[in-house]
Copies of this chain bind each other. A is one copy, B any other.
Amino acid sequence: MDKIKLGIIGLGNMGTVHAKNILMGKCPLISLVAIADTNPERIQWAKENLSADIALYDDADKMLDSGKVNAVIVSVPHYDHPKYAIKCFERNINVMVEKPAGVYTKQVREMNEYAKKTNAVFAMMFNQRTDHIYRKMRELVQGGTLGKIRRTNWIITNWYRSQSYYDSGAWRATWSGEGGGVLLNQCPHNLDLWQWICGMPIKVQAHLHYGKWHNIEVEDDVTTYVEYENGATGVFITTTGDAPGTNRFEITLDKGKLVAENGKLYLWELEMTENEFSAMKHSNVFASPKKSFMEVETDGKSEQHVGVLNTFAEHILNGTPLIAGGEEGINGLTLSNAMHLSSFLNKEITIPFDEELYYDELMKRVKTSRRKENIESMVSDTSGSYNA
């Protein structure tokens, strides 16, 4: 069977996870043939710990120009995601970009424009889209039998991080290193899923708190209110400071309610839409619509990173649909940027917002950003940190 010839740009936390998964045989359609990292320590580590068959480069351009790879995973710091994706597009090399798509939508829009001009496959590592619960929620919401969305509410506060986490990398949780905090590092999955399942809102009012629970310069506590085009409202709450946190996602629709919590999905379905019920004359003025309740069965499969990589390979080889097209990465980032902009300007933001203004506001913060000192850089075992 043909395999794709994969290179990894960036052997940090996630690049290492992907390399190990492939070398453990979890991706039968992928040969890991090359790795590029500018950090000599990581190249040394690869030499000592990975297969001798893998070509190692201290520079991504050399790898991309080597002719050895026809597909690449970009797993470098967030700011550089678009830069390396564009390098791949210019060489017609298929590319999987780690989340977030980038740090500000202006650069991601540019990446998406480049992607249109190439035949290369462009994919995003939104592994949580493989989760059986979120897939089922999307199917039920987008299927339409429950009617239109009225209210969305995601309390996703189980991204706990101690100060030690933030002290483990000079770039972590800095404006210059990550371009934000919990919204840029931990929440891209949730922001993507939120819009993937419920659609994009058109108004955003966010309350961000910077360094509230940790000694960091970026946000670690967020409460956001949104409105959708049809008048529905939503709330998104996240933090890295709560222990134990909560992951509860509730969606109310005209004809029912969904709640995902503790790895279960619950559905209340009405006999008729609330609108129809309310329009009828009721002699008991406290009457409410009849409903059924069930725990929703799913297929139980959540293939996560490996599933996304395998589908990427199958798409390149056989045309199987991707889990997440690369051009969709801008949606979650639009939400994240809108929340930051709402906080920076202390006002409600309408989507689409002024992307140049966002860039300027972000760069103001980058200019005065302080990389942390006396940090012992480490690559961490991220097992169990994905918060599925």
Contact = CB atoms under 8 A, between A and B. Distances in A.
B285 A164 contact: yes
Given A286-B385, A380-B286, A246 B257 contact: yes
Nearest to A346: B348
A157 B151 contact: yes
Interface string A154-165: 010100111111
Contacts of A209: 231, 233
A98 interface: no
A214 interface: yes
Interface stretch (A19-27, A126-134, A192-200, A236-244): A236-244
Contacts of A259: 246
A163 B243 contact: no
Interface stretch (A83-91, A274-282, A355-363): A274-282
Given A153-B155, A243-B289, A164 B281 contact: yes
A386 to B, nearest CB: 10
A288 B162 contact: yes
A261 B283 CA distance: 30
Contacts of A40: none
Contacts of A274: 213, 241-243
B250 A380 contact: no
Question: What copy number does this chain have within its complex?
Answer: 2
A228 to B, nearest CB: 12
B291 A243 contact: yes
A235 interface: yes
A382 interface: yes
Contacts of A155: 153, 250
Contact of A221 (B225, B233, B246): B233
Band of interface residues on A: 35 or more
Contact of A257 (B153, B212, B242, B380): B242
Nearest to A387: B286
Given A231-B212, A235-B237, A286-B384, A242 B168 contact: no
Contacts of A381: 284, 286
A201 to B, nearest CB: 12
Contacts of A279: 163
B153 A237 contact: yes
A287 interface: yes
A150 B361 CA distance: 29
A324 B161 CA distance: 41
Given A214-B278, A235-B237, A237-B235, A150 B250 contact: no
8 contacts: A150-B242, A162-B285, A163-B278, A235-B235, A243-B274, A243-B288, A284-B381, A286-B382
Given A150-B241, A244-B270, 5 more contacts: A164-B280, A223-B225, A242-B257, A244-B288, A244-B291
